[in-house]
Amino acid sequence: MGTKKGVDVSASDIFALSARAEQAQLVIQKNHQDLDPIISINRSLRARGYPIDLMTIDCLVTHRRLTFMLNDATPELVGYRFGALDPDDQGDFSHTAYSEVTSDQLVTWIVQVFSKRHD
């Protein structure tokens, strides 16, 4: 991640992460039709000068959200937090190795987190 001669090379990392999420989404849609995750990439912080990209996976049925943060300062790590869709119900980010956030791991997290309803 980071900038190399003015080129934003972190884009490949956030899009690779979203590709893993898309693979997980296919598994979820096949095996857990009631969850139907919605994946979004948010690069607005980067556009405002912060070296951060976000990816969210939302479930409108259970009102839950998984948020993932990629920070150029720590390219080997992914920040993550799980909570409600309500922006006031967000906690601190935990961190794991980028390589550990596989499509299988995402399936596990989606099932665990989205199976809990939050109203």
Other C-beta atoms within 10 Å of 48: how many?
8
pLDDT tier for residue 11 given thresholds of 50, 70 and 90: confident
The pair phi, psi for residue 103, each rounded to 5°, is -65, -35
- The answer to whether the predicted template modeling score (pTM) of the entire model surpasses 0.85 is yes
pLDDT value for 118: 58
Please state the rounded mean pLDDT for residues 85-91: 73
